[in-house]
Structure 1
Amino acid sequence: MSRTLRIVLAQLNQTVGGISANCDQIIEASLRARDEFCADAILFPELTLTGYPPEDLLLRPGLHHHVERAITRIVAAVSGITVIFGHPMQTGEGLFNSATAIRDGKRLGSYHKQHLPNYSVFDEKRYFSAGRGPCLVDIAGVPVGITICEDVWMSGPVKQAAEAGARLMLNLNASPFHSGKSGEREAVARERVTESGLPLIYLNLVGGQDELVFDGGSFVMDAMGQVTMRCPDSEADLYCAELEVKAEAVTPVRGVLASEPAEVEAIYRALVLGVRDYIEKNGFRGVVLGLSGGIDSALTLAIAVDAIGKERVEAVMMPSRYTAQMSIDDAAAEAEALGIEHRAISIEPLFAQFIDSLSDEFAGLPVDTTEENIQARCRGVLLMAISNKKHKIVLTTGNKSEMSVGYATLYGDMAGGFAPIKDCPKLLVYELSRYRNSISSVIPQRVIDRPPSAELAADQKDEDSLPPYEVLDPILQSYVEDDLCAADIIALGFDADVVNRIVTLVDRNEYKRRQAPPGIRITRRAFGRDRRYPITSGYTKQQK
């Protein structure tokens, strides 16, 4: 004899701190799972009630009162289905990252996360105490073990649950995206399945939260390590998993297997999702950005339109005496291809006025990057004025290569509220642009082909100040993401003078990055939450 167990994976998008709205979402999804899917249980992500990561909101006593009231509401509002959701739990022994199971007005049990990540973007040991043991709940006669996110990356918690009699494992996650992450998750889950002999349901959050993007990609894995169901990447919805229950085993039934997107597509989706949620969750009416005719602003524009629609996106071309006609033409072509509102505002009168006002101060001094920075700051003032007046957020267009070496102007092209491609190296910008054009042609080919230039001086090109990006980006990856020292990078075959110069630029420009707007994390080591370096430091001098 066999029977079917139905568990709904609520791959949803919560808002950090929106406890009441998140509670409503849990109740609505639970009732839908019961009525539409005839589900035995529904599983929600890690810290569903508060959203993830709540950071120092967890230090506010009032937050925990709101959480407890929300749990009481869920217990009272939902019946006929087992509901398992994540939330912080304050007890006499400490604050825990927990998951609670309820059914028919009763709390069946709570699990406390045992392994608290404290690396990269995570700092859970700042807030939580570690749990110490397994928690099994009965779902339609099947003993089910619960773990939370990092627990599945270690062997202990799943092994504990198996030894306690679990026949199925549920893993609640808030696992942020970075390039290559989906494959890592499935590989780790396969290790736990192999060790325990138990099938596993891995549920992940969807949505953007400041710098982080959670990409979903939830899946079900059988006891042989085969993925039998995979939810779509970056799409919030309810997905029903069916499992065949026999005396000897619980076996997932093969379901829909969403295809895994190619890496560049996954990154592009993450960028769109991150921009959309930052704008929507913070209540901005729309966005405005400076459109230069270059590839960075062209890609940022496409992301913005894909995120919130052309009606809410405005672009401004701000030419100067150094702007090439092809840049003006290409910017107009980009705006028209995407159907957005756009206009040109010359910065020449503003720039001339600044130079005139500073003529006495600059007397006898040569022209240098000061004049270039003044142009960038004229543009920043114009964009911020439009932002203030129209209540639209300014999207900056700088990439990771530029931010690494300080090839950006404070209060100029760095002025804005959000930086979509801040963690995208320049070579990746080209890949993303080609990918976006494969959907529909919105970036003129000559924008992709022409040598990049800030156009702040006559006949200027990026390579006048920087190595070719084919050289620069691998050096930056080695230093910023892989933590190699200059000597180790030189040993890889790079020119010593170039490496030492780039390493010095990275370290020297930490002060700029501290003043940059937040941007979406898509690599393993983004500036900000991931990489916390001192501004004042003598380390560069010592390592040469």
Structure 2
Amino acid sequence: MRIALAQINPTVGDFAGNLALISGYVERAAAQAAELVIFPELATCGYPPADLLEKESFVAQAEATLVAVAELTRGEGRPAILCGSPMRCENVRGKHVRNVAALLADGAVHAVQQKMLLPFYDVFDEQRYFEPGHEQSLSVVKGHAVAVTVCEDAWNDKMFWPRQLYPVDPVEELMRQWAVLPQPLSGHRLILNISASPYWHDKIAVRQKMLGALAKRHRATIVMVNQVGANDSLVFDGSSLVVGPDGEVLAQAKSFAEDLLIVDTTAPDKLLVPPSQDEVALTWQALVLGTRDYLRKCGFKKAIVGLSGGIDSALVAAIAVEALGAENVQGVGMPSEFSSSGSVSDAEKLAANLGIAFSIVPIREIYTRFTGALEPFFEGTAFGLAEENLQPRIRGSLLMALSNKTGALVLTTGNKSEMACGYCTLYGDMVGALAVIADVYKTEVYALSRYVNREREIIPEDTLTKPPSAELRPGQKDTDSLPPYDVLDPILRAYVEEYASAEEIVEAQGVDLALVRRVIRLVEISEYKRQQAAPVLKVSRKSFGMGRRFPIAARR
């Protein structure tokens, strides 16, 4: 069968825009003689819709959109469509919404496959909203039998995963039904999967291996179409796949871009697979797409970045320029009496290399007025954290004032290492609309910055080589408060992402127990800061935000 994988970037709740997007891809697929066009999970409303699903009007709009999509199949020679959408449940018990793959043909809904396995881990909370399906059945498209699955329904293969999360395997059940199909329907096995599978490190490779093992086990061709684009913290990579019965990838759509991939399941020798990319390049693309879509889908075009001359703000500015264009990015330097001359010149050089507007707003006089006003309260005390944090809070106020005046969004510049340890200032360097690199460890910041400079120097070499410093007091360095990042980051990754204990980290990494316990203590006492942070673009297996839920008031 000639199938079109329509890898689209929907916006949550934009039913008219999503319908127009779907319609355009159907016409493109029809022009290339596709018999079936497949769209991602919840394509009519965008994923994840979250509590919007609690509104009956929202679900009704999604159903009306699905009816309009079905109209696109009306007429001789028109392709059938497989499209994801929420639909109301007919049953009177349980949840009132179901997550379905709807098979559309001849202007009508011909079949509906309800998602059975509703993920409830990390960023997923589908059991909160959807009623699970309780049975599976094969469908027929253009005279071909197909097994339709929705995302997680294909992720419970007992031969691949060491531990199954669910007691049933929908694919296994569908293949049992296939075994008793009459001829000629029982010929070539074809599994269709519509997904909204977000990106994180190694996810593309894991998805390929998992689907390859599933295809090989059931001697089937698997066609998986995945959503692309970013919605809030989640970035979807696309990378839609066609996998042959031998487990080999026959075709793959682009990563981090919309695409229309046409495949003929009877002619795999004509298909192409794009070259693989390393994780640094994929992370860069994810952060760029996440930044671009966050602003675009929230109705903004411009961004402001506070440039300190440090590597974190330099990387965020480079991401913003790639995402929005240099003409839409404003850099602001706000030196204090503790800022080095090199930091100012590095920020100026970065702005020139990126081609962005750059302004300097000194804060020394403002800081003097603040400390003067507080002198009656601070008198007799040593210079300390209160005086240090005044500086980023002044900067945060200035950035937000510029944001209010210009309509540009402030991008925060803190990394994951700082966020984990609380090495950041509430209402200071944490102010902003989007935490672009707050899921990127400091060591990864350096790798990404080198990637930015792969063709020419954009981030100044001095920025890459000087010791990192917040420059809030004379001679300050990050290592005054934190272990070196090449020691810190592996500890954080083990504790934050793998939930390893202090003793397990010591055994695995050979580091000092007292040091590990100090790092863990920093992570634990900083939870209140993270829960007040801007949304974090997720690129790791476990990011700060909705996928990591810990109480603030707790003894651990």
The aligned amino acid for 1:242 is D
Inter-CA distance 440–208: structure 2 relative to 1 (3 Å threshold): farther
Q: Which moved more, 1:383-392 or 1:66-75?
A: 66-75
Residue correspondence of structure 1 range 361-376 to structure 2 within 5 A: 361-376=377-392
The aligned amino acid for 2:539 is I
Aligned 8 A contact 1:221 1:252 in 2? no
| Structure 2 residue 25 is matched with structure 1 residue 25 | no
The aligned amino acid for 2:504 is D
Q: Which residue of 2 aligns with 1:34?
A: 30
Q: Which moved more, 1:75-84 or 1:424-433?
A: 75-84
Structure 1 residue 254: deviation in Å? 3.7
Name the SS for the 2:337 alignment partner.
Answer: coil
Aligned 8 A contact 2:231 2:293 in 1? yes
| Aligned counterparts of 2:241 and 2:456: Cα–Cα separation in 1 | 31
Task: From 175, 179, 186, give the equivalent of 1:162.
Answer: 175
| Aligned counterparts of 2:66 and 2:276: Cα–Cα separation in 1 | 35
| Aligned counterparts of 2:28 and 2:240: Cα–Cα separation in 1 | 19
**Superimposed CA distance per residue, residues 146-170 of structure 1 (whole angstroms, 9 cap, x where no aligned partner):** 1011111124222222232362111
Q: Which residue of 1 aligns with 2:279?
A: 263
Q: Which residue of 2 aligns with 1:512?
A: 529
| Aligned counterparts of 1:12 and 1:69: Cα–Cα separation in 2 | 19
**Superimposed CA distance per residue, residues 99-142 of structure 1 (whole angstroms, 9 cap, x where no aligned partner):** 00111112220101111110011011111111122233322321
| Structure 2 residue 234 is matched with structure 1 residue 212 | yes
Aligned 8 A contact 2:13 2:49 in 1? yes
**Superimposed CA distance per residue, residues 383-410 of structure 1 (whole angstroms, 9 cap, x where no aligned partner):** 0000000000000000000000100000
Q: Which residue of 1 aligns with 2:265?
A: 243
Name the SS for the 1:343 alignment partner.
Answer: strand
Aligned 8 A contact 1:229 1:254 in 2? no
Q: Which residue of 2 aligns with 1:313?
A: 329
Residue correspondence of structure 1 range 349-388 to structure 2 within 5 A: 349-388=365-404
Name the SS for the 2:454 alignment partner.
Answer: helix
Aligned 8 A contact 1:172 1:202 in 2? yes
Name the SS for the 2:284 alignment partner.
Answer: helix
The aligned amino acid for 1:520 is L
Residue correspondence of structure 1 range 41-440 to structure 2 within 5 A: 41-79=36-74, 80-93=78-91, 94-155=96-157, 156-165=169-178, 167-244=189-266, 252-440=268-456
| Aligned counterparts of 2:269 and 2:552: Cα–Cα separation in 1 | 54
Aligned 8 A contact 2:412 2:429 in 1? yes
Task: From 471, 475, 481, give the equivalent of 1:459.
Answer: 475
Name the SS for the 2:321 alignment partner.
Answer: helix
The aligned amino acid for 1:163 is R
Q: Which residue of 2 aligns with 1:542?
A: none
Aligned 8 A contact 1:232 1:259 in 2? no
Structure 1 residue 326: deviation in Å? 0.8
Aligned 8 A contact 1:233 1:260 in 2? no
The aligned amino acid for 1:52 is Y
| Structure 2 residue 7 is matched with structure 1 residue 11 | yes
| Aligned counterparts of 1:319 and 1:64: Cα–Cα separation in 2 | 51
Structure 1 residue 253: deviation in Å? 4.2
Aligned 8 A contact 2:253 2:259 in 1? no
Inter-CA distance 139–440: structure 2 relative to 1 (3 Å threshold): farther
Aligned 8 A contact 1:114 1:157 in 2? yes
Per the normalisation by structure 2, the TM-score is 0.93
Aligned 8 A contact 1:207 1:234 in 2? yes
Name the SS for the 2:214 alignment partner.
Answer: helix
Q: Which residue of 2 aligns with 1:529?
A: 546
| Aligned counterparts of 2:457 and 2:141: Cα–Cα separation in 1 | 51
Name the SS for the 2:345 alignment partner.
Answer: helix
- Superposed CA RMSD: 1.2
Aligned 8 A contact 2:536 2:545 in 1? no
Name the SS for the 1:410 alignment partner.
Answer: coil
Structure 1 residue 73: deviation in Å? 1.4
Structure 1 residue 78: deviation in Å? 3.2
Structure 1 residue 458: deviation in Å? 0.4
**Superimposed CA distance per residue, residues 199-230 of structure 1 (whole angstroms, 9 cap, x where no aligned partner):** 00111110011111000111101111111111
| Aligned counterparts of 2:28 and 2:440: Cα–Cα separation in 1 | 39
The aligned amino acid for 2:135 is G
| Aligned counterparts of 1:195 and 1:89: Cα–Cα separation in 2 | 32
| Aligned counterparts of 1:10 and 1:278: Cα–Cα separation in 2 | 22
Aligned 8 A contact 2:311 2:464 in 1? yes
Name the SS for the 1:164 alignment partner.
Answer: helix
Aligned 8 A contact 2:15 2:65 in 1? yes
- Structure 1: state its 5+ residue gaps: 245-250, 540-544
**Superimposed CA distance per residue, residues 275-328 of structure 1 (whole angstroms, 9 cap, x where no aligned partner):** 000010001130001000000000000000000100100000000111111111
| Aligned counterparts of 2:484 and 2:150: Cα–Cα separation in 1 | 44
| Aligned counterparts of 1:260 and 1:90: Cα–Cα separation in 2 | 40
| Aligned counterparts of 1:439 and 1:48: Cα–Cα separation in 2 | 38
The aligned amino acid for 1:132 is H
| Aligned counterparts of 1:73 and 1:490: Cα–Cα separation in 2 | 59
Aligned 8 A contact 2:41 2:47 in 1? yes
Number of residue pairs matched by the alignment: 528
Inter-CA distance 315–520: structure 2 relative to 1 (3 Å threshold): same
| Aligned counterparts of 1:514 and 1:238: Cα–Cα separation in 2 | 39
**Superimposed CA distance per residue, residues 45-94 of structure 1 (whole angstroms, 9 cap, x where no aligned partner):** 00101100111011111112111211221222333110110011112224
Structure 1 residue 491: deviation in Å? 2.6
| Aligned counterparts of 1:171 and 1:202: Cα–Cα separation in 2 | 5
**Superimposed CA distance per residue, residues 435-463 of structure 1 (whole angstroms, 9 cap, x where no aligned partner):** 11104321011211111000011011000
Aligned 8 A contact 1:27 1:78 in 2? no
Name the SS for the 1:438 alignment partner.
Answer: coil
The aligned amino acid for 1:91 is C
Q: Between the two proteins, what is the percent identity of the paired residues? A: 41
The aligned amino acid for 1:84 is L
| Aligned counterparts of 1:332 and 1:62: Cα–Cα separation in 2 | 51
Name the SS for the 1:361 alignment partner.
Answer: helix
Name the SS for the 1:526 alignment partner.
Answer: coil
Name the SS for the 1:85 alignment partner.
Answer: strand
| Aligned counterparts of 1:254 and 1:174: Cα–Cα separation in 2 | 27
| Structure 2 residue 552 is matched with structure 1 residue 538 | no
**Superimposed CA distance per residue, residues 462-514 of structure 1 (whole angstroms, 9 cap, x where no aligned partner):** 00111000111011111111101122222331112211111111000000001
